[in-house]
A = this chain, B = another copy of it.
Amino acid sequence: MPKLIPIPYLGRLYQVEYAMEAISHAGTVIGVLSKDGIVLAAERQATSNLLEQSLDNEKIYEMNDNVVAGVAGHAADANILINQSRAIAQRYLLKYNSPMPVEQLVRRLCDMKQGYTQYGGLRPFGVSFLCAGWDTTFGFQLYQSDPAGNYSSWKAACIGENFSNAQSILKQEYKDEEAEAGAVGAQMTMDDALKLTCQVLSKTIDTAKLSSKKLEFATITLKAGKPAIHVYTAAEIDEVLTKYESVIKPTDSQ
């Protein structure tokens, strides 16, 4: 994300910075782009035996058939924006009979956010998004947006608590052979991406042992030429964590 310039506006924009601050206490969300899909992973901050985990998707939402989003921040605000985004994507589908391009949806989402920073008598939406999507023009894309309505496109990104920590691990470990040449797409496989995600999670989440209780996972891949979103069950998450135990272990020694 472009460095947020400390803009000394009177009134409104302070609120954006407060919102940013609040998001920096929300559960971490990580997105990693690979050549055949995108991995989204999110940390749940609320964990209780009493929570009905199977129903309660606190952090990851489908926005459209080709877009899945991870959110950090104020859940009620996120609901409003997700509802709106879903409606926008559906209206596009109805009108053009083709799925809405990813950036276009992200842009509409961000324009809504921007409006709430500019008009009096409103507070900005206190929520950041990582949107993972696929369209025929640009393939897999990973966008990050902030409460001010700025967005940018990433190969691997992170929002929420410890995001700067996670970002620096991602920078070190992300493998992108063509990165220097500026070509589109990464050279990691989905397996690499899942492994990297687990590695980052294990170093940023403050817990003795990573488990499906504290995590949500989703992927978007291509199946038969169509984007397929998969939100992991608790069992699947534990399976992934077991598979990449090797990269998770080192946390203990940290």
Interface size class of A (residues with CB under 8 A): 35 or more
- For this chain, the copies found in one complex come to 7
Please tell me if the beta carbons of B123 and A121 are within 8 angstroms of each other in the complex.
Answer: no
> Is A80 a contact of B114 with CB atoms below 8 Å?
yes
Tell me whether A225 is interfacial, beta carbon within 8 Å.
no
Say whether B45 contacts A2, CB under 8 Å.
yes
CA distance A133 to B33 in the complex (A): 37
| Residue A85 at the chain B interface, CB threshold 8 Å | no
Given contacts A49-B179, A50-B170, A77-B118, contact A152 B7 (CB under 8 A): no
The interface stretch among A16-24, A87-95, A201-209, A246-254 is A16-24
Knowing A19-B9, A46-B2 touch, does A58 contact B152 (C-beta < 8 A)? yes
Question: In whole angstroms, how far apart are the Cα atoms of A58 and B83 in the complex?
Answer: 27
Asked if A53 and B7 make an inter-chain contact with CB atoms under 8 angstroms apart, the answer reads no
A84 to chain B, nearest CB (A): 11
Decide if A234 is an interface residue (CB 8 Å cutoff): yes
CB neighbours of A79 from chain B (8 A): 107, 110-111, 114, 149
Using a CB-CB cutoff of 8 Å, which residues 82-122 of chain A contact chain B? 83, 103, 107, 110-111, 113-122
Q: Determine the chain B residues whose CB is within 8 A of the CB of A235 once the complex forms.
A: 181-182
**Residues of chain B lying within 8 A (CB to CB) of residue A123:** 9, 11-13, 117-118
A1 contact set on B, CB distance < 8 A? 46
Beyond the given pairs A5-B22, A119-B122, 11 more chain A to chain B contacts, judged by CB atoms under 8 angstroms and listed by A's residue number, are A2-B75, A9-B15, A51-B152, A52-B142, A52-B154, A55-B153, A76-B148, A79-B110, A80-B115, A119-B121, A120-B122
| Residues of A bordering B, CB below 8 Å | 1-3, 5, 7-15, 18-19, 21-22, 25-26, 33, 45-46, 48-56, 58, 74-77, 79-80, 83, 103, 107, 110-111, 113-123, 125-126, 138, 141-142, 148-150, 152-157, 167, 170-171, 174, 176, 179, 181-184, 212, 233-235
